[in-house]
Amino acid sequence: MEPEERKELPAPHNLPTGDFYLYPVVASIVKAEIRERTVVVEWSDSTVSEFHFLWLRDNCPCCVHPYTLEQTYEVVNAPKNLKPAEVEVASSGALAIEWEPEDHKSIFHPGWLKKHCYSNQAPTSPNMKSVSWDSLTRTKPDEYDWEKIIRDEEVELQWLQSVQISGCALIHGVPQTDPAVGEVANRIGVVRHSNFGDLFDVRVDFDPVSNSNTGLELPPHTDLPTREYQPGMQLLHCITNNVKGGNSTLVDGFRVAEELQDRHPRAYELLTTVSWDFANRSRTSDYRWKAPMIGLDNFGELFEIRAGSWLRYPLQAPPDLMDEMYEAYQIFETTSHNKKFQIKFRLEAGDCIIFDNRRILHGRTAFEAQSGNRHLRGCYVDRDELRSRVRLLEGNKSRRSILSKIER
Ligand code: OGA
Ligand code: ZN
């Protein structure tokens, strides 16, 4: 948002927040009090927040560059005895703090302050909030229309939220041109390049560099599990598909992991803690990585799945775990191949499937290469891009809602 625009808005929305968003005032500040190390704020919804002095000083909304809104205050320079000389609830509804010994005043927007309150809550994972599925709870990906996505930001947001929650979505009506998959990807963010190119073709090749360029079945897998950082979102756009066979399969890898945790706890324990070796070698490249097939984040939440039966390297596990590792691997594969966990659909010309490659396993049934043409174009976009785009669209939506209330 431009600083000039803020000035036109009534209080408290004309106050700088130190970032690019508008914040709804869900509760107003009733009282603010200085304690030994914190400022305690009482809200009109009867909740109480406690903010540490250094946290408040560090997040002073005016100590940012006026255009980039990146911080300019160096917390390392904060005086050891920094504390508020005075706090008050201003007539705008803001929390105003006079600092000492620094001669500085900070004004905090109440909506911003409430949104960033960290009292009474455990730190949460930055992971996307997902709802896992299997073929009993989902029969196909949520479907969207490309024309509607590009015309209406609300539809675009729904599409991307579907991708975050279920890990996949299908778009119809994408023009059957070579660059189109890149245009869908660029709607979200920048394309993640790989040795297969920024946009790649999936079609039968007479000198294939990968099984994907044959008519072979591709069992459920993630792409490039051989990289330290697996690509996030994968897009596959169908330009032609009139062969016999060649249907698409998706499996929610998080659901498979949950099944293992429930029914095969030892396999789950091994697959979340012992690394499997992956490799993708060719005459001109040699990619390798080792990591657990089921990745958990620092909060113990499911974070990523790595699977690619034909992209494995000779396993280097402790000898006393080798048999159990193979058993765990077979349990994972048997589960992800089980129809109970797979949804199947056919990509028709003009369809584009997008899925979280670090969560959703994808595959296809075999097809008869001589029976017609099958041509998909694909690319990757990292999870960061998706999260960023969703934040922007959510910010715009919230801004529209706040402005419409102000205008009424
Ligand atoms: C791939 C792949 C899916 C398909 O190329 O890695 O999964 O439907 N392709 O051909
Ligand atoms: Zn693939």
Tell me the pLDDT tens digit for each residue of 378-400: 999 999 999 999 999 999 999 99
Q: Is the pLDDT of residue 3 over 80?
A: no
Listed in order, strand segments (DSSP E) in 138-296 are 142-145, 168-172, 200-202, 218-221, 233-241, 244-245, 248-252, 276-281, 286-291, 294-296
Ligand 1 atom 6: residue of nearest CA = 212
Cα of 354 vs centre of ligand 1, distance in Å, is 12
Which ligand minimizes its atom distance to the CA of 217?
1
Q: Quote the ligand 1 centre to 196 CA distance (angstroms).
A: 13
Question: Under CATH, to which class is 142-390 assigned?
Answer: alpha beta
205 alpha carbon – ligand 1 mean position (Å):
13
Judge whether residue 1 has pLDDT over 60.
Answer: no
Q: Using CA atoms, how far apart are residues 350 and 360, in angstroms rounded to an integer?
A: 22
Neighbours of 177 (CB within 10 A): 12
CA distances to 142, 172, 174, 375 from 146, in Å? 13, 6, 6, 19
Q: How far is the CA of 162 from the centre of ligand 1 (A)?
A: 22
- Rounded mean pLDDT, 358-364: 98
The mean pLDDT of 116-144, rounded to a whole number, is 92
Q: Which residue has the higher pLDDT, 83 or 9?
A: 83
What whole-number percentage of the chain has pLDDT above 90?
90
The whole-angstrom separation of Cα 361 and Cα 355 is: 9
pTM for this structure?
0.94
Cα gap 231→251, rounded to integer Å: 17
User: What's the gap in Å between 275 CA and the centre of ligand 1?
Assistant: 25
pLDDT at 282 over 60: yes
Query: How close is the Cα of 92 to the center of ligand 1, in Å?
Result: 57
Predicted local confidence at residue 242, as pLDDT = 97
Ligand 1, atom 9, lies closest to the CA of 212
Give how far Cα 179 sits from Cα of 8, 50, 174, 292, Å. 42, 52, 11, 35
- Among 271, 289, 275, CA closest to 317: 275
pLDDT at residue number 14: 87
Ligand 1: which residue has its CA nearest to atom 2?
212
Choose the CATH number for 3-121 among 3.30.2020.30, 3.40.640.10, 3.40.50.1370, 3.40.50.300. Answer: 3.30.2020.30
Q: Which atom of ligand 1 is nearest to the CA of 248?
A: 8
How far does the centroid of ligand 2 lie from the alpha carbon of residue 316, in Å?
25
Mutate to test the pocket of ligand 1, among 181, 195, 202 (most ligand atoms within 8 A of CB): 202
- pLDDT in the model for residue 4: 47
- Is the separation of the CB atoms in 251 and 220 below 8 Å? yes
Instruction: Note the pLDDT of residue 7.
Output: 53
C-alpha 377 chain-centroid distance: 22
**290-296 mean pLDDT:** 98
Domain definitions of the chain by residue range: 3-121, 142-390
Mean pLDDT of the chain: 95
Atom number of ligand 1 nearest to Cα 210: 5
H helices present in 77-217, as ranges = 110-115, 146-151, 153-166, 180-188
Q: How confident is the model at residue 5 (pLDDT cuts 50, 70, 90)?
A: low
Using an 8 Å Cβ cutoff, are 222 and 358 in contact? yes
Structure confidence at residue 109 (pLDDT) = 97
Q: Which atom of ligand 1 is nearest to the CA of 200?
A: 5
3-state secondary structure of 270: helix
pLDDT band at 122 (very low <50, low <70, confident <90, very high): confident
Question: Is the pLDDT assigned to residue 98 strictly greater than 70?
Answer: yes
* Ligand 1 probe mutation, 376, 379, 380, most atoms within 8 A of CB: 376
**Nearest ligand to residue 212 Cα:** 1
Res. 6 pLDDT band, cuts 50 70 90: low
Q: What is the pLDDT of residue 126?
A: 79
Determine the distance separating the centroid of ligand 1 and the alpha carbon of 373, expressed in angstroms.
15
**Reported confidence tier of residue 347, pLDDT bands at 50, 70, 90:** very high
Question: Comparing 13 with 373, which gets the higher pLDDT?
Answer: 373
Pairwise pLDDT comparison (196 vs 141), residue with the higher score: 141
**Closest atom of ligand 1 to CA, residue 211:** 5
**Residue of 212, 311, 373 to mutate, ligand 1, most atoms within 8 A of C-beta:** 212
Q: So what's the pLDDT on residue 363?
A: 98
Question: Which strands make up the sheet holding 142-145, listed edge to edge?
Answer: 142-145, 168-172, 352-356, 233-241, 374-381, 200-202
- Pocket around ligand 1 at a 6 A CB cut-off: 202, 212, 218, 223, 248, 362, 364, 376
* Residue 406, pLDDT score: 84
Cα 221 to the center of its chain, rounded Å: 19
pLDDT at 209: 78
On the question of pLDDT at 42 being above 80, the answer is: yes
CA of 366 to the centre of ligand 1 (A): 11
Which ligand places an atom closest to the C-alpha of 202?
Answer: 1
